[in-house]
Chains A and B, each alone.
Chain A
Amino acid sequence: MKCESCNKKHATVHLTEIIGSTKKERHLCDECAQGVNTQLAKIPSPTEILTSLINQVAPEISEMSKIVCPVCGLSYLEFRSNGRLGCPMDYTIFRKGLVPLLEKMHGSTQHVGKVPSKAGKELIKKSELMQLRNELNKAVEKEDYEKAAELRDRIYDLSGDTNED
């Protein structure tokens, strides 16, 4: 179909105008369409519609939407649309948005568990202490005081050499 305005180029824009009960269709090429209908510019682009929707649903996104990881180039919006992070650094760069997400997914935002030996002895000790304290709380809840006393001693032993606590 040729453009009905210039009659030269291929019509790629198809407009339907409804005024009252009359319907008018127009078939234009890209160039003519831009010149003819200034009203087109007022119609929000799909991205704008999406952004306004997102703002209503997940306010954290609008605040985070401008953030792009300088290491891998992933934007926060891309992450939210496909759910995959681009590099380990993203956990730091997108931290503010990630923390509530992690809370929702896991019910927690603090790792408890294995520490790679390369991460250093201090870190391992810290993590062990955290686990022991967890266990201690559980033992107290269960009123297992024998176990609680044993755990308390282990905590003292461990934290003793670092002067922590």
Chain B
Amino acid sequence: MTFQVIPMKISDLANNTGEWLRGTGAESDIVISSRIRLARNVARFPFLSRTNIKQKKELEEIVRNKIKEAEITSDIHYINLADIDPIERLFLVERHLISREHAGGEGERGVAFGKSETISLMVNEEDHLRIQVIRSGFELKEAWKTIDGVDNKLEKKLTYAYSSRFGYLTACPTNVGTGMRASVMLHLPALGMTHHIEKVFNAVMKLGLVVRGLYGEGTQVSGDLYQISNQFTLGKSEQEIIEIIESVIPRITSYERMARKALIAESREQLEDRIWRSYGMLKVARMISSEEIMHLLSQVRMGVNLGIINTIEIKTLNELFILTLPGHLQKLEGRELNAQQRNIIRAAYVRKRLEEI
């Protein structure tokens, strides 16, 4: 059992991405990833908004040590967020290892994650502990199995704040009960292009689910990437919540496939032109903004799914969505970059990656 409490080198991660981007698993042409997180708090401690510096430090120590003792995976690393700089924190946000709130927080807090980046454990985020599991493709049930197991191991070491009436007690009452947020990230370019996406949102909201952008709450949708997740956490079991999401996803993916077919049937030339132009842009452009690259990658990704382009792997495109984000570019370059510098380096990086193919 190795457990590195000493901060690992974040730059070691910069050239790779987590396993959840490899483009495998059910429906992975449209479903990028499935993610579940559980919010947990340690009994007999206040929630973080009411802890003093000493209690917060104590909590960080307790939870960090219990994660270590619980032997969750053999290769878990721990990073204290107070020890790293803002670019590195942004880098971890972009990889979905920590939340934006966690990155922007204060004081003693950290994250533990395995080498495959499938499991991550945030210490002292909004709650004392947030466990997260991400898997490639449409694999919510498998993600639940994994996270349930991790939670069981931790629960043997930690006494959670729990009541039989309200379930797992959380700092924000919107998470109380199961403390679970299950979400599925979808790539829906054709529904966007044909303006049918609103219909999907309305149907999803009627089921008590919410639609969000790539980085969760309050983030803008870009690259036609959407996250669908549960809003309610109380009154339904974890399995029931997962079943509700699982029941709606195949309907959305088949709707997206229908929209793609319709686009091909009605305007094949225009669609192909759009996709090839996007591909060309990625191969030749000298400056690309983060907004533009999301759009270009989205178009090319659909082109690969439709067999229009067959020289690039889905995995490469999934990775490029993350590797070309500001934190990653700055980490790769090893220095702080302004927007223009990033645009130049982003374009160069993508050109290089596409030349390798």
Contacts and interface: CB of A to CB of B under 8 A. Distances in A.
A84 B43 CA distance: 17
B49 A102 contact: no
A101 B160 CA distance: 23
Contacts of A74: 50
Contact of A110 (B170, B172, B235): B235
A107 B234 CA distance: 8
Contacts of A88: 41, 43, 47, 161, 163, 169
Nearest to B155: A116
Interface string A65-94: 000000111100000001111111001100
A98 B49 CA distance: 18
A116 B50 contact: no
Interface stretch (A20-28, A37-45, A117-125, A146-154): A117-125
A108 interface: yes
A36 interface: no
Contact of B172 (A84, A107, A123): A84
Given A102-B234, A111-B235, A118 B155 contact: yes
B172 A106 contact: no
User: Secondary structure of the B side of the interface?
Assistant: loop
Contacts of B165: 109-111
B159 interface: yes
A137 interface: no
Given A111-B167, A116-B162, A117-B155, A87 B234 contact: no
Nearest to B152: A117
A7 interface: no
B56 to A, nearest CB: 14
| Majority secondary structure of chain A interface residues (helix, strand, loop or mixed) | loop
A113 B172 contact: no
A150 B76 CA distance: 43
A87 B46 contact: yes
A112 B152 contact: no
Contact of A114 (B161, B170, B174, B237): B237
Interface residues of A, number: 36
Interface string B137-160: 000000000001001100110011
Contacts of B61: none
Given A106-B177, A110-B235, A86 B172 contact: no
A67 B212 CA distance: 36
A123 B164 contact: yes
Contacts of B173: 83, 85, 98, 101-102, 105
B238 interface: yes
Given A106-B235, A109-B234, A111-B178, A116 B49 contact: no
Interface in B169-199: 169-174, 176-178, 180
A91 B47 contact: no
Question: Which of A101, A107, A113, A134 has the most chain B CB atoms inside 10 A of its CB?
Answer: A113
Contacts of A105: 173-174, 231-232, 234
A114 B233 contact: no
Contacts of B234: 102, 105-106, 108-111
A107 B235 CA distance: 7
Contacts of B235: 106-112
Given A86-B49, A113-B178, A118-B159, 10 more contacts: A86-B50, A88-B43, A105-B232, A109-B165, A111-B168, A111-B177, A114-B167, A114-B237, A119-B164, A134-B237
10 contacts: A73-B50, A85-B173, A91-B163, A98-B173, A105-B232, A111-B234, A112-B235, A113-B239, A114-B167, A117-B156
